[in-house]
Structure 1
Amino acid sequence: MAQNVAEKFLKDSAAKSFHQRHREIINTNIDKYNTAFERGKSKFFNLENSRKKANIIKWKVMENLDRYLLDFESNFQKRGGKVIWANDAEEARQEIVKIMERHQAQCVAKSKSMVAEEIALHHFLKTQNVDIFDYTSLDTSAESLTDEQEIEAQKLLREQYTMADIGITAANFIIADTGSIAITDNEGNARLSATFPKIHIALVGIEKVIPSINDLDLFWPLLASHGTGQNLTVYNTVLSGPRQPHETDGPEEMYVILLDNGRSNLLIKNDQRQALYCICGEVCLSTCPTYQNIPDQAYDTSYHTLINSLVPARLNSISEFKHPAYVSPLSGDGLDACAIGIDYRRLALLNRRDSVQHSLISKTDKRTWKLFTYIMLRRRLIDFFGGKTKNFFLRNFFKKTWQKYGELPKLADKSFSKQWKEQNKE
């Protein structure tokens, strides 16, 4: 599996990295984003302090995750909501099917959701012959539409939302003390999905818990500034269950599916559980040297944030995230920009360590590094061969590894230690 992921990544990245038009688009977007991010983070009185506070809150949550999840379940159920626990993607999909069958639902309104992508929900619903009103489809097709056509398409799509039997959304945060979920987006499709249909299903990873609704005054601005550079995203919604007797709108029934799907396996790793702190701001992408050259399409993950490529929370096998850890350039820029202060470099190094301990690297890699270590620890062997011999080996044995786009370095005729000795003698 890991080797297949690696081969696919290398193939996709080679195609994209040297596509001139694509590079222009990436560079333009990154420049715009960096400008917006600098403007957004300037609104914080003390950004570093806010990051530390958010990190401590998420640390507290992960150390007591079971308690906070049970608090949320209890408080959510008090208002008539229903909580479903799903161990993996298949369980989550089957629970959604059961809800649809129970309510004889034929059409679904689905907002943008990385968790839905994680469990391949769109494809699954298609196989069940379910009509899907998906706002993301408009986002893709709208590129070729005129302004008037786009407006008409949006009107038609919004009308379809009113006819959906079930609305499916994600949630950015699970609020333990009020039994609520918080959803934030800029298009309004999540609010449409949650408001018009009689049944609302929120699909959310168990790591999204925050202790109190008061914590939103910290996490919402951090998410907005590190996501799009805004002070606050356009639509921020807190939902605490189905419509109450005194309320005029909202769903008749509301379900929250709490998805594990490998997150507990990551939770038990003391060194790596900080990956679950991620709130999916995307500033880590624009600061990553790898991502600046290779887009998210090359990453084998449904999440478009580098943290989830390094340690994808949904995966059960270490072999599946062995390669993305080696993609990280260990520059440290992600740590400096992360809204929560997650240590990217440490996570990447820990994953590389685990891949070696679990014998996931190839025998060729093992032999190569063993030989490299042996030679580098013996200065006489390094100095035994001159520059011409070393360059000959580079050209004939490492050219393919270096790739056709890179130019092989030319080694000096004499090693540094030889030059140093000769200079000191003089």
Structure 2
Amino acid sequence: MHGAEDADKEFVWHPYTQMKDWAGWEGRVIVRGEGFYLVDSKGRRYLDGTASMWCNVWGHGPNEVVEAMRDQLKRLQHSTLFGLASEPSARLAEKLTGMAKGMDKVFYTDNGSSAIESALKMALQYWRNRGKPEKTEFVSLEHGYHGDTAGAMSVGYIEQFFGAYKPLLKKVHRVPSPLLYGSRFGNEKDLVGWCIEKTEKALEKIGGRCAALVMESGAQIAGGVNIYPRGYQQKISQLCKKHGVLLILDEIATGFGRLGNMIEYEAQKSRPDIVCFGKALTAGYFPLAVTMAGDEIFNAFLGQYSQNKQFYHGHTFTGHPVGCAAALANLELYEKHNLMQQINGNAQYLESRLAEFEKISIVADVRHRGLLAGIELARNGKPLMQLKNKERLNYFVMGESLKMGVHLRTLGNVMVVIPPLAIDRDNLAKLMDAHRELAKKAEKL
């Protein structure tokens, strides 16, 4: 018999991980959760500083969401949405369409990447059903990330991640992302004006062949924590309407409170044609995502069966009853605990703590909104990817943070603050203390 650590080293292939390096590290296998902490097989506790890949809301352990999942498992474990309906999926769809203004229908998937794939296929078939099959091209933002499936990689292409998969991908037109740091502009107004000008020129060049523009809503996270300047997303929305292009918004990581708003596109005044949600939808307890659209999109798929207008997309676990039950209970808890008020209070505290990083010489830029922040590290004007002792920054941060009892990961040279959404003030303070200590240590190494 193998211990948990030995079994993991021998059999598990970890995502986005160099397994040659993993084999030399001390194995840490998580066996349970307690509040906002993860506990490994040796009893060591780690503050969940990454919100378990940006999705955890309430922490870990028994709560109303878990009870709702158990209750659903007793009544109906799984049934298909292929030609049948289920009570939890119907109730959740009604709840979501009431929350997301302008969205009238919900298409269920299992994860964010699949939600984006659904949106892309939906956009292409919408135009075909409307008699405009020439509209097949997409526009997306530089530094965007939308998932790891083929379509999602195409619109959210990051060379370091996806270079090996280029033969699989569709050509997509890329327009500038409004990141002030490292740009030639001295203020956000001039930067936004330039980005909008470049985007409009791209749309004009593509002309009637453009099906949709795809972008993350409110901020880009995986591409380096790029917070959009106010007004930028609204201007993009206006451009799409002007040029007859669908707007697909990705709120998989930025929706449900991460940036301080329940529905981010409403705060951005940029109503989409199609929008995707995931991650925090089920509090991180079950794989579930949705692609939502308005009636104008949906109605284009109606017709006689012989017309072949129906949407040819679906998954075995589409609209899983347990996931839908979790999402319903989760959204009820948001209201019961007035979570948005707590998030915005913690966002103010986070902003005050981020001021401490201005005194650290390797901190080149700090970007923040809601319960998301990016602390960009640089030395001599160059991204700090490797310390003076040749240790990689991402390995240093992960290894040292675990010694502190906190689990953290970087995005390249950007330290990311992205805690569970319901984190309490004491644990948020501990998280910020760890980030500050790590930045100070890296400054000396």
Point out the structure with max Rg over C-alpha: 1
TM-score, structure 1 as length reference: 0.36
More helix per residue: 1 or 2? 1
TM-score, structure 2 as length reference: 0.35
